[in-house]
């Protein structure tokens, strides 16, 4: 594995402030600004500049701005995410730095290379700190560091200066935290029960994976707030529960589904409880005396083919698209899942909005034409419960 970093010093003597407009945003949006390619070429030597431009165009991380001055953007190479790139810029001085990381599986260790067009001497400390934070996030550790400064001379640098700090590493069976520091009743229970420990570790991994997958800082802050709120609610609810373990098992199952399906909420900031409801449609519904679990599917298009197969078997017009899809699982091991969608159907003389449902095991099917342009999650869930639930 190698990590290559190029820097350019006085690319813009008067400073370069326009990248600050991308503060907290996705690196991809910054990358496709028409001013970014010339900036990369001013910062980095070829062929490094081309490699960095490619890396910054792949699955992105967020743009990070420190002290309203130090800018960094990162991403990984399309279809080759073991190779990652970072661009750092001192916007006040016009001094830039870029990075490419060639990872090795599974340990993600290797070489970190630095290259500067206009910087002489040491790597700026603000740049070094940005690199270390980035390496920590992508879980990479350099085994060697090389720096090519403005003179074109390459020289080794201390690996320790670019090595992320050591963090607690949980055991393979969990939990996610250090049991030597357990303080609360809930924490001690998680440490003493193998099933709960495994649930805690898996949820922590799901949260970290979901966090890294978000490409802007506002979305990451939303997810972090949601997880912290859930931890408080978990402790408050299960501390006083008659059966704490059963309470915890259910809490972890619900939060796992929440993290799997949650999407960021646009608009004004919301409190965590509202964030959970708005960003993710998951919860219990009581309808006609029966309790159901409703899970909103993140990708509404995934169920479209199944709906259309059911329609074709009944010689009915196909659907063009679905704006909303929910799942009502039976809730038992290997149990049935019943899906419903709010979809557009190709019907003469014009398209129409319909509710449609089917399931995975029994062969349930339902279709209802709507006489209006939209339907709520609750209306759709009630329709699925009536027409397609069970098994």
Given a contact cutoff of 8 angstroms between Cβ atoms, the answer to whether 338 and 390 are in contact is: yes
DSSP label at residue 60: B
Tell whether 127 and 34 lie within a shared domain: yes
Residue 133 has pLDDT above 70, yes or no: yes
Given a contact cutoff of 8 angstroms between Cβ atoms, the answer to whether 58 and 77 are in contact is: yes
Strand residue runs (E) in the chain: 2-8, 64-66, 70-77, 80-90, 95-102, 109-116, 141-148, 154-157, 282-287, 290-296, 319-329, 337-345, 352-359, 365-369
Q: What is the model's pLDDT at position 84?
A: 92
- Of 137, 162, 187, the residue that ends a domain is 162
More confident residue, 274 or 67: 67
Query: Which tens digits make up the pLDDT trace of 296-353?
Result: 776 777 789 999 999 999 999 999 888 788 888 886 656 788 999 988 898 767 788 8
Q: What is the model's pLDDT at position 267?
A: 62
Residue 6 has pLDDT above 70, yes or no: no
- Of 162, 191, 211, the residue that ends a domain is 162
The pairing of strands 109-116 and 2-8 is: parallel
Q: How confident is the model at residue 11 (pLDDT cuts 50, 70, 90)?
A: very low
Tell whether 252 and 358 lie within a shared domain: no
The pairing of strands 95-102 and 319-329 is: unpaired
More confident residue, 174 or 346: 174
Helix, strand, coil shares of the chain, percent, nearest 5, are 40, 25, 35
Range of the domain at 119: 2-162
Please state, rounded to an integer, the average pLDDT across all residues of the chain.
86
Question: Could you count the other beta carbons within 10 Å of the beta carbon of residue 21?
Answer: 11
- Residue 61 in domain: yes
Q: What is the model's pLDDT at position 276?
A: 56
What values do phi and psi take at 311, rounded to 5?
Answer: -65, -40
Mean pLDDT of 352-365: 91
Tell whether 262 and 378 lie within a shared domain: no
DSSP label at residue 30: H
Choice among 192-206, 320-334, 356-370 with the minimum mean pLDDT: 320-334
Tell whether 235 and 133 lie within a shared domain: no
- Residue 224 in domain: yes
Tell whether 376 and 301 lie within a shared domain: yes
Q: What single string gives the DSSP state of each residue in 285-319?
A: EEETTEEEEEEE-S-GGGGHHHHHHHHHHTT-PPE
Tell whether 308 and 376 lie within a shared domain: yes
Tell whether 255 and 364 lie within a shared domain: no
Give the alpha-carbon dihedral of 137, 139, 145, 150, to 10 degrees.
-30
Tell whether 12 and 154 lie within a shared domain: yes
- Residue 87 in domain: yes
Q: How confident is the model at residue 371 (pLDDT cuts 50, 70, 90)?
A: confident
- Residue 171 in domain: no
Residue 148 has pLDDT above 50, yes or no: yes
Tell whether 29 and 117 lie within a shared domain: yes
**Reading across the β-sheet that carries 64-66, which strands appear in turn?**
64-66, 70-77, 80-90, 95-102, 2-8, 109-116, 141-148, 154-157
- Residue 10 in domain: yes
Cα(52)–Cα(64) distance, integer angstroms: 17
Q: What is the model's pLDDT at position 376?
A: 73
Percent of the chain scoring above 90 in pLDDT:
47
Tell whether 22 and 137 lie within a shared domain: yes
Query: Which tens digits make up the pLDDT trace of 37-82?
Result: 999 999 988 888 899 999 999 889 999 999 999 999 999 988 888 8
Residue 205 has pLDDT above 90, yes or no: yes
- Residue 168 in domain: no
Looking at the DSSP bridge assignments, the partners of residue 84 are 76, 101
Q: How confident is the model at residue 287 (pLDDT cuts 50, 70, 90)?
A: confident
Mean pLDDT of 345-363: 86
More confident residue, 375 or 318: 318
Q: What is the model's pLDDT at position 2?
A: 47
More confident residue, 369 or 334: 369
Tell whether 11 and 150 lie within a shared domain: yes
Query: Which residues are CB-neighbours of 156 under 8 A, at least 6 positions away?
Result: 144, 145, 146, 147
């Amino acid at each position: 594995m190698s990590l290559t970093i190029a820097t350019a010093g006085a690319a813009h003597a008067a400073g370069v402030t326009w990248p600050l407009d991308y503060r907290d945003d996705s690196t991809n949006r910054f990358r496709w600004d028409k001013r970014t390619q010339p900036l990369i070429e001013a910062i980095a030597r070829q062929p490094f500049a081309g490699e960095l431009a490619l890396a910054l165009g792949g699955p992105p991380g967020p743009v990070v701005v420190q002290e309203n001055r130090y800018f960094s953007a990162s991403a990984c190479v399309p279809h080759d995410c073991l190779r990652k790139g970072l661009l750092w810029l001192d916007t006040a001085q016009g001094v830039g730095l870029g990075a490419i990381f060639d990872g090795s599986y599974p340990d993600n260790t290797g070489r970190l290379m630095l290259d500067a067009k206009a910087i002489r001497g040491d790597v700026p400390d603000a740049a070094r700190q940005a690199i270390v934070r980035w390496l920590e996030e992508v879980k990479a550790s350099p085994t060697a560091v090389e720096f090519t400064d403005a003179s074109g001379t390459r020289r080794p640098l201390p690996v320790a200066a670019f090595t992320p700090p050591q963090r607690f590493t949980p055991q393979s069976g969990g939990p996610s935290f250090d049991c030597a520091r357990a303080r609360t009743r809930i924490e001690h229970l998680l440490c003493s029960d193998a099933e709960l420990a495994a649930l805690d570790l898996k949820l922590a991994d799901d949260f970290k994976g979901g966090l890294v997958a978000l490409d802007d800082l506002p979305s990451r802050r939303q997810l972090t707030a949601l997880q912290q709120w859930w931890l408080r609610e978990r402790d408050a609810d299960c501390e006083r529960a008659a059966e704490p373990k059963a309470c915890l098992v259910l809490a972890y199952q619900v939060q796992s589904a929440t993290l799997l399906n949650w999407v960021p909420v646009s608009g004004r900031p919301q409190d965590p409880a509202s964030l959970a409801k708005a960003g993710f449609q998951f919860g219990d519904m009581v309808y006609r005396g029966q309790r159901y679990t409703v899970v909103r599917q993140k990708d509404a298009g995934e169920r479209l083919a199944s709906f259309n197969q059911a329609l074709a078997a009944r010689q009915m017009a196909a659907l063009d698209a679905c704006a909303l899809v929910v799942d009502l699982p039976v809730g038992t091991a290997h149990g049935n899942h019943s899906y419903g969608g709010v979809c557009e159907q190709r019907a003469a003389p014009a398209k129409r909005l319909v509710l449609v449902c089917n399931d995975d095991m029994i062969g349930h099917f339902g279709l209802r034409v709507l006489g209006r342009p939209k339907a709520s999650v609750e209306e759709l869930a009630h329709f699925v419960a009536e027409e397609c639930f069970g098994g």
